[in-house]
């Protein structure tokens, strides 16, 4: 019985990951529109993650649930001209899983028993001062939260949209 439940939870997580990544990527993906960008904006230097970032700059991303570390990842960042940023064949998405009651995300969600929740993080934009990360949380049936986090290259940044669910980005310690 427990094996069947675990297998069902794995299938639910797989479906939620694909669904959430697709919805979030489309919803928060910056779309260039002809005539809206000044020529100087294309030459603007901005922070970017992964693609083309082979230098020594990186950020650590940590996700905590009620003070307990659930996920940690280090990813490369670089400061580059907006015009040099090339689209990747497939958008990079950091994915992690945890169990929590959907009701924690708001009273509109009636489920009060813990369910598998999938978290996704992707690059939603670039600024001169930060990499803008899109962040979403979803069950197999619905997206619970879709928001953003500004990851600063030279200092820690902390977001806690739901009490006890904390996303932290920080530069690694240099010796």
Residue 35 has pLDDT above 50, yes or no: no
Residue 11 has pLDDT above 60, yes or no: no
- Residue-wise pLDDT for 153-168, tens only, equals 999 999 999 999 999 9
Average pLDDT over residues 32-55: 71
- 151 lies in a domain? yes
Query: Which domain, by its residues, includes 48?
Result: 2-29+42-170
Residue 22 has pLDDT above 90, yes or no: no
- 161 lies in a domain? yes
Q: Name the most confidently modeled range: 40-44, 56-60, 65-69, 124-128.
A: 65-69
- 152 lies in a domain? yes
- 147 lies in a domain? yes
- 175 lies in a domain? no
- At 8 the pLDDT is 56
Reduced 3-state DSSP string for the chain: CHHHHHHHHHHHHHHHHHHHHHHHHHHHCCCCCCCCCCHHHHHCEEEEECCCCCCCCEEEEEEEECCEEEEEEEEEEEEEEHHHCCCCCCCCEEEEEEEECHHHHCCCCCCCCCEEEEEEEEEEEECCCCEEEEEEEECCCCEEEEEEEEECCCCCEEEEEECCEEEEEECCCCC
Instruction: Provide the domain count of the chain.
Output: 1
Where does the pLDDT of residue 134 fall: very low under 50, low under 70, confident under 90, or very high at 90 and above? very high
């Amino acid at each position: 019985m427990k094996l069947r439940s675990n297998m069902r939870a794995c299938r639910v997580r797989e479906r939620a990951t694909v669904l959430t990544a697709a919805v979030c990527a489309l919803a928060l993906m910056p779309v260039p529109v002809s005539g809206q960008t000044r020529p100087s904006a294309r030459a603007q230097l901005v922070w970017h993650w992964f693609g083309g970032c082979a230098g020594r700059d990186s950020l650590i991303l940590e996700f905590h649930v009620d003070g307990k570390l659930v996920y940690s990842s280090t990813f490369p960042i670089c400061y580059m001209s907006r015009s040099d940023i090339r689209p990747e064949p497939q958008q990079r998405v950091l994915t992690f899983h945890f169990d929590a009651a959907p009701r924690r995300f708001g009273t509109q969600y009636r489920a009060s028993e813990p369910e598998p929740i999938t978290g996704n993080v992707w690059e939603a934009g670039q600024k001169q001062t930060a990499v803008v990360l899109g962040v979403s949380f979803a069950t197999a049936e619905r997206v619970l939260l879709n928001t953003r986090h500004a990851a600063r290259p030279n200092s820690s940044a902390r977001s806690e949209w739901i009490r006890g669910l904390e996303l932290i980005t920080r530069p690694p310690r240099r010796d």
